[in-house]
Structure 1
Amino acid sequence: MPSKREREYARRRYQKQAARAARTARLRRERLLVVTFTVIGFAALVAALLLANRNEQPQAGETPTDIAPTDTATDPAALEPLPTTNPEQYEAAPPASDALAQDWNVTMTTNVGDITMVLHGADAPQAVANFVFLANNGYFDGTACHRLMPDALLQCGDPTATGQGGPGYSWGPIENAPEDGVYPAGTVAMARVGGDGESMGSQFFLVFADVPLPADAAGGYSVFGEITGGLEILQQIGAGGVDPNSVGQDGTGRPATDVIITTVEVE
């Protein structure tokens, strides 16, 4: 029968052997995990490369697409937004009699140069009274001309620069529209909603090249003045074209050259 010392020695030797066996098993499991993850990672990398290669090559029935680098000329987010203002809103248009049946000289100062006009109160009294009223109240100051019809006209007068803004009222009917539907270079006329002759507000357009604008169900467009200086500035803006990121179905859009009205002075 083994002595107490021998039994204690055997017990310690067994514990050491068991500890070595456990450590060996643990190391074996760890090495196995490393190998497994390495294989999985390699397989995932190969799969990703294959998928990328597939996406680069046109498949049956597909058309390859070239993606151009983004730059300020093609990325709308890279363009500075047009300035907007929040002028006073009014309940009603001024009376047509405020035009006094006379001519009014206007100087519209912009960031690209001055444009001068003469407004004919006798020909379009409501349109002239409306423009003079808004100009004298600073309504147009700081606003952007938001719409360009290439080679034809520039539209201004919307404080929101969206084409949806106005003074809080609308008016009509249409005044002094040309019978033949042709608006000569230098024409100043009121913009309106299509088919609605009572929808004029603050938006107007400056024509820099002869353009036919056919009448719709409501008629033509109220002509209330003519450009006397700065026509070449408008023509240069027109030559610059429309920002390609803003072109609508009708071919109009935000002018590529921003036009900001600083002040409008009436005499």
Structure 2
Amino acid sequence: MAPKNQARDNREARERLRLYQARQGLHDRQRRRRKRDDLVGVGVLVLVAALATGSQLAFAGSRAEDAPAASASSTATPTPSASATAGNTGTVPSKAIADGATWTGTLTLNKDVRLGIELDGKAAPQAASVEIDLIRKQFYEGTTCHRLADSADFRFLQCGSANGDGTGDAGFQYGPLENVPSDGRYAEGTLAIARGASPYSQSTQFFIVYGDTTLDGSTGGYTVVGKVTSGLDDLERKITSKGIASAGSDGTGAPKVATTITGATIREQD
């Protein structure tokens, strides 16, 4: 029988391997889906070319002003691509991990932006426990920050998707929402959990609020799991101030400075 510490290390190693394999599996599925969509796209282009002459009159009355305008309002919320669920799915890390305590650590981006972080195990015990567990298992290392919002009153950097593009998870989704601001205001430095339509669609993604931000609270808001205690100046100077590569309809998009999580640490505060 293996010594206690060795047995624990073996379990943690197996869990890290499982998380890595889950990310790889999701990545492979995404690649196959893109290949399939490319093939479908070729077929559609051929069909469009064949019908082009006959369709010119049909669309002659369309006007650019009839199309909805892109907006950077607070209705564009920091959510991952996740299906709505009625309850927890998969094996969610125990709520007891956070132990009702304050946890401190670091989050390093691109090797040279070092953020001090603090997780609130009392106000958000489930979310804090998930983040502690993921950090301990080195889940975040090598993942990217794929989404940036940089307009007035709407400033955050979203990180932590398994596939680096807003998709994927660690094999679980969880709820409920915790420690949600009643007024929809997320102060500069807030660390919050991203989600899909359901309050039980939280998983690995989180967002860093680097400027006071207002988000739509009509669907319940977002769990505030903690805060950034240092390094926001470096984050803005080296990453967020450089802007968005290509904004989507909600005004957000991938940051011009490609951003990768290169390190993360966490420990219970003494």
Give the TM-score normalised by the residue count of structure 1.
0.63
| Pairing 1:185-204 to 2, within 5 Å after superposition | 185-194=188-197, 196-204=198-206
1:166·1:202 contact (CA, 8 Å) conserved in 2?
A: yes
CA drift at 1:258 = 1.3
> Which fold has the larger relative contact order, with Cα–Cα distance below 8 Å and residues 6 or more apart in sequence?
2
Q: Which runs of 5+ in 1 are unaligned?
A: 1-89
Letter in 2 for 1:204: F
SS in 2 for 1:161: coil
SS in 1 for 2:211: coil
- Equivalent residue number for residue 103 of structure 1: 102
- Equivalent residue number for residue 173 of structure 1: 176
- Equivalent residue number for residue 209 of structure 1: 211
Q: Which runs of 5+ in 2 are unaligned?
A: 1-88
Q: Deviations over 1:213-259 (max 9, x none)?
A: 02133x01000101011111222322111002xx2110111000111
Distance 2:248 2:173 in 1: 25
SS in 1 for 2:133: helix
CA drift at 1:113 = 1.3
Letter in 2 for 1:229: S
- Equivalent residue number for residue 231 of structure 1: 232
1:107·1:114 contact (CA, 8 Å) conserved in 2?
A: yes
CA drift at 1:159 = 2.4
Q: Deviations over 1:175-216 (max 9, x none)?
A: 00000000000000000013x100000000000000100213
4+ runs deviating over 3 angstroms:
none
Q: Does 1:184 align with 2:187?
A: yes
1:154·1:234 contact (CA, 8 Å) conserved in 2?
A: no
Letter in 1 for 2:92: A
Task: Indicate the RMSD between aligned Cα atoms, in angstroms.
Answer: 1.6
- Equivalent residue number for residue 243 of structure 1: 245
Q: Deviations over 1:112-140 (max 9, x none)?
A: 41111110100000000000001100100
Letter in 1 for 2:204: S
1:182·1:213 contact (CA, 8 Å) conserved in 2?
A: yes
Give the TM-score normalised by the residue count of structure 2.
0.63
Distance 1:136 1:174 in 2: 23
| Pairing 1:1-267 to 2, within 5 Å after superposition | 91-111=90-110, 112-151=112-151, 152-194=155-197, 196-217=198-219, 219-236=220-237, 237-244=239-246, 247-267=247-267
Distance 1:149 1:263 in 2: 23
